[in-house]
Structures are given as C-alpha cells and as structure tokens.
Amino acid sequence: MRKLIYLLLAAAVFFLAGVYQSEIFMILFLAEGMLFLLFFLLSRWGTGNVETEILTERGRILEGERGNGQVKLRFKRHVFIPYCRVLLMCRNHLSREEVWQELSGAVTEGRKVRLGFSIEENSCGIVEICAVRAAVCDPLRLFFRKRPLNAGTFLTVLPQPLKPPAEIAEIEKRPGGKEGERIWEKRAGAGSYEGIRTYQPGDSMRDIHWKLSSKNDELLSRRYMEEGESGISFYLDVSGWKDGGWKEQSAFLRLAFTISREGISTDYVLEEILDRVQRPVKRPAAAGILRA
C-alpha cells in the first residue's frame, strides 16, 4: 500500500513536470527519485528479522506479590531504530484474565533492546506471557513496523503476606525437654492464621514453602495446588540456643486439607524437630481450621 502511494506521488510529480515544463517540478522529481533510491538501498540493511526472548526471574523469590522480568528483542542485522514499542500480553491462570502491557525503550548496541516489566496481582498464581507484539520506529522508512513475536514462558506471581508469619508461631521451651531444645508452637488464638493472606475460592496453590525464623521472617511460595487436592508441607527454620551458642534447627509441619468454597479445613501435625546435629524429636498431633 505504501509503495503504491509512493508510485502515485512520483507519477503526479512527473505529470506536473511534463505539463508545466517547470524547473521546480523537475527538481522535485529528481529529488524524489534520489529518495526512492536511498530508501531502496537502506532497506537492504534495514530492520531485518526480529527475535525475541523473555527473561523472567522464574524460580527466584521476589518481593512477595509481584513478578519481574525483561523482554529482550534481538535484530539479526544492524538497525537504524532509536525507539520501539512492545505490547506484552499476560494471561493469569487463576482468573483467566488477559492483560496487555505496553513497554517502550531505545535500542542499544545497534541490534538489541531490553525492556523491563513487572506484574502485580492481588492473588498468587502463575502468569503466562503468551504474546509479544513489537512496533519498531524506523525513521528512514518513516513508519512503525509492527511484528507479532513468538513468546512462551511463565512468571510466578507470589502471594502478599499481610503480617509477619512469625506472629503465627513462637519459640517455646518444652518442659522436660533437653537443655536448649526449642520448638515452634502455634500461638493460642491464631487458628485462623490471619497473618497470611487468605486464599479465595478458585485460587491455586502448589507446594507452598514457608521459612519462619526468629531473625528473618519471610514467606516463600514456590508452586501451587489445584482445588480438591490435599497435603501441604511447612518447613520451619528455627534458630535456638544449644551447647553454648545459636544452632539452626528445622521443624517439619505437615498439613492435610481440603479446599472448598467454604474454606480450607486442615489437620496439621508437628511431626518432628530436626536438629541438624542430633536425631529428630517426635511431637504429638494437633488440629485447626484455616478459613479462606
């Protein structure tokens, strides 16, 4: 279409130059011919094919509620592109919503451009980056070239804790236990686990991994589990006083639960305290309810 417009303009200038026999139109015709030749030569060295790559922080623990990454575009040939726009379509596997996000940036190193993006969600889940469209501005061709680019990767969006997880549990000296032995106990009255953002019906959870420490409280979420499945493990890293110094211990808390629209009912067992030096210590079971 653009080539047709250029040809029509050239024909119009040539017609006017022949009709009026004017030097101005002859100069315009020659200048137009030179521009066509210049554009033709530059098109052989132009934008070329575009390759794309999504650089996400997959598997890395982020700030609790967002996923970050980069879109990297690589051109096979050197380009005269100072600016480009990228449309990134993200599909949330929980809400099934598709969101377009627009990125923009300048091409660096002649052939590459990196555009950072972040995904913020109110609920945890897996976000699929399923489409990328790039519009690159080539000033020598005087228009934006839009290209659909293949993309396919997943980005983990982590849940957001409302309170420090340590408010759920506390270190307590066990009566009759060995000297320096400490374990994690669920705080009385915290059966609803209000310290953690509750999961709504339809949320997906797989293999949530907690790390609770008296020094550094953080919630680590790895993967998620579909509705109806049961079984989840909490790994608690505990620092305790032992043999005249602080030693790290690990508690293994296993939960069996059923996800329903009314909530998440649980039975949890504090199975063992793993002193990384001595043998595990067995503990009795307990029960509770986790409301969504």
Q: How confident is the prediction for the chain on average, in pLDDT?
A: 50
Of 244, 237, 245, 190, nearest to 215 (Cα)? 237
What does the pLDDT read at residue 27?
73
Q: How far, in Å, CA of 124 to CA of 290, rounded?
A: 17
More confident residue, 177 or 192: 177
Task: For residue 179, give every residue at least 6 positions away whose Cβ sits within 8 Å of its Cβ, in sequence order, or none.
Answer: 242
The H or E element that residue 36 is part of is helix 23-43
Where b means 16+ CB within 10 Å and e means fewer, 145-158 reads: eebebebeeebbbb
Convert the pLDDT of each residue in 12-38 to its tens digit: 766 666 666 667 766 776 777 776 666
Convert the pLDDT of each residue in 62-90 to its tens digit: 333 456 666 676 665 555 555 666 777 77
Pairing of strands 232-242, 112-120: unpaired
The sign of the dihedral angle between the CA atoms of 263, 259, 60, 209 is positive
Which value, in Å, is the radius of gyration of the alpha carbons in the chain?
31
**What is the CATH number that goes with domain 50-157?**
2.60.40.10
* Contact present, 215 and 165 (Cβ < 8 Å): no
What is the domain partition of the chain in residue ranges? 2-43, 50-157, 165-290
Q: Which of 135-139, 158-162, 187-191 tops mean pLDDT?
A: 135-139
**Please, is 273 exposed, middle or buried when counting C-beta atoms within 10 Å of its C-beta (0-12, 13-18, 19+)?**
buried
In this prediction, residue 286 has a pLDDT band, given cuts at 50, 70 and 90, of: very low
HSE, side-chain direction, 13 A CA sphere, residue 292:
19
